[in-house]
Amino acid sequence: MARLLLGVTGGIAAYKSVLLVRLAVKAGHQVRVIQTPTSQRFVAPETFRAITGAPVLTDEFEPDPLRGGFPGDPLPTHAAISHLALVEHADAYLIAPATANTIAGLATGRADTLVGSAYLAADCPVLVAPAMNHRMWHHPATRRNVDVLRADGTRIVDPGSGDLASKGEHGDGRVAEPEELLEVLEGVLAGGSSAGGPGDLAGLRVLVSAGGTREPIDAVRFVGNRSSGRMGYAVAARAAARGAEVTVVAANVGLPAPAGCTVVSVSTAEELRVACAAAFETADVLVMAAAVADFRPVDPSAGKIKKQGRTGMTIELEATADVLIELSGRRRPGQTLVGFAAEHGDQAIVHAREKLVRKGLDAVVVNDVSQPGIAFDATENAVTIVTAGGDRVVARAEKERIADAILDDVVAARATAA
Ligand code: CTP
């Protein structure tokens, strides 16, 4: 159980922070809340005080009756400066909701509120959950400010999409749901149940591709494959739970989005290539779990091809770009690249080792697709992780456990390369 400091700023989404605090307290965490003056127009400090059982600070010059301590802790003997003491005792500091104005202030290091000065004084993990109108969220100024926070090591919990506070408006900008925020927070703090250390991926950006691409034949038909996206989503979920900031490029995945990850939906191999290329620039780790089509119809029909009068048909295919080879050709020092290989039979490892070299990878995760009950659309898998140093067999297990094994090898590869 952890000491969580929550900074609440002035947006309608402040009501969701009440729910978050309730969840966190119920889960056994010790929570303190600080608020900006504007946030009190949306939720009164008394509400947070009642749920946390601790005073709520709204002003830097206000003495803290708990002297920077957390509920249940012995009262510190020294009455320290509140904004420094509170964040000094915290295991994590989350600002939720974070308005566009607060984010601009944080990006420039402004300390004109208790929330801002605690941000500057924090040396625990800091998370920011933006909440605003979608036009404000997409404005270049906000994009720049968010990039600055990321570059400063702050974890951004991306807003979701849906109905917004202003009537009739719909889009990105809704603050992440309280359950998701708590899950991300706990992931950053604890690193889940993985073999890796607590939060051992904190500070890393992980890009995962998942699912299977679809290459149109005509307006209603496509060339596709059997990948469900389960393995890629398991890697994404576990990476987020171990503290990473995760982007998933999802090709036709019909599963609920993994908690705490940014999902970019694509359909074709070309769309996947473009989305991965954009996110790869800033990624530290790439896990390429998607089944990308190797060939696509040369000339897809805009309408629906009619069967009338035909006794058969031939579809001419052309090769797609190999996304992994393209990305590995552009890799920077410090990036770790993991590919997957769906192989069949006794030459599986030999082929995977050849792919490791040809595609310039740190690891290849080999799925033997000839084994029944695993791999495609199953909840379990069994893999061999092939690296330059040797092969590691990971016995049949839930895909989350396989994902942890892959991420453990990523951590090990990065430690060796450092
Ligand atoms: N891959 C890719 N772009 C493609 C095809 C594959 O990035 N156009 C990636 C996959 O995501 C996977 C790895 O390459 O991580 C290996 O995919 P696989 O289909 O096993 O290998 P191929 O190179 O396509 O070789 P083959 O199908 O002949 O075994």
From CA 344, how far away is CA 319, in angstroms rounded?
Answer: 22
End-of-domain residue from the set 171, 195, 219: 195
Residues linked to residue 339 through DSSP beta bridges, in sequence order:
288, 364
Q: Which is the closest atom of ligand 1 to the Cα of 323?
A: 7
From CA 85, how far away is CA 73, in angstroms rounded?
Answer: 14
**Residue 361 in contact with residue 324, Cβ under 8 Å?**
yes
Gap from CA of 258 to ligand 1 centroid (Å): 24
SS3 label, residue 416: helix
From CA 168, how far away is CA 179, in angstroms rounded?
Answer: 25
Domain that holds residue 295: 205-417
Q: Which of 288, 336, 357, 362 to mutate to test the pocket of ligand 1 (most atoms within 8 A of CB)?
A: 288
Identify which of 89, 95, 44 has the alpha carbon closest to the alpha carbon of residue 71.
89
Q: Which of 215, 252, 294 to mutate to test the pocket of ligand 1 (most atoms within 8 A of CB)?
A: 294
Gap from CA of 369 to ligand 1 centroid (Å): 14
**Residue 182 in contact with residue 24, Cβ under 8 Å?**
yes
Ligand 1 and 208: CB distance under 6 A: no
The encoded tokens of residue 356 equal 């490791």
Strands 380-387 and 390-398: antiparallel
| Position 200 in a domain | no
Verify that 91 and 187 share a domain, yes or no. yes
Ligand 1 and 292: CB distance under 6 A: yes
Verify that 211 and 108 share a domain, yes or no. no
From CA 337, how far away is CA 360, in angstroms rounded?
Answer: 8
Q: Which of 214, 340, 350 to mutate to test the pocket of ligand 1 (most atoms within 8 A of CB)?
A: 340
pLDDT band at 190 (very low <50, low <70, confident <90, very high): low
From CA 78, how far away is CA 238, in angstroms rounded?
Answer: 41
From CA 38, how far away is CA 36, in angstroms rounded?
Answer: 6
Quick one: how far is CA 305 from the chain centroid?
40
| Position 8 in a domain | yes
Q: Where are the alpha helices (DSSP H) in 66-217?
A: 82-89, 100-107, 114-121, 134-138, 140-151, 178-190
Q: What is the pTM of this model?
A: 0.67
Verify that 277 and 138 share a domain, yes or no. no
Q: Which is the closest atom of ligand 1 to the Cα of 320?
A: 8
Ligand 1 and 126: CB distance under 6 A: no
Residue-wise pLDDT for 354-391, tens only, equals: 999 999 999 999 988 877 777 677 888 889 999 998 89
Domain of 314: which CATH number? 3.40.50.10300
Ligand 1 and 103: CB distance under 6 A: no
The encoded tokens of residue 312 equal 């058969």
Active site residue 133: no
From CA 253, how far away is CA 49, in angstroms rounded?
Answer: 42
Average pLDDT over residues 290-304: 97
Identified catalytic residue from 101, 133, 145, 225: 225
Placement of tokens 């900008």 in the chain:
173
Verify that 151 and 210 share a domain, yes or no. no
Question: Cβ atoms within 10 A of the Cβ of 153, count?
Answer: 10
Residue-wise pLDDT for 301-354, tens only, equals: 999 999 999 999 999 999 999 999 999 999 999 999 999 998 888 888 999 999
Gap from CA of 289 to ligand 1 centroid (Å): 9
On the question of pLDDT at 194 being above 60, the answer is no
Q: Please state the length of the chain.
A: 418
Q: Which amino acid is at 151?
A: A
From CA 110, how far away is CA 120, in angstroms rounded?
Answer: 8
Q: How many domains does the chain have?
A: 2
Q: What pLDDT was estimated at residue 110?
A: 95
From CA 205, how far away is CA 238, in angstroms rounded?
Answer: 13
Verify that 96 and 26 share a domain, yes or no. yes
End-of-domain residue from the set 155, 176, 195: 195
End-of-domain residue from the set 151, 169, 195: 195
Residue-wise pLDDT for 124-175, tens only, equals: 999 999 999 989 999 999 999 998 998 888 888 888 877 777 777 777 788 8
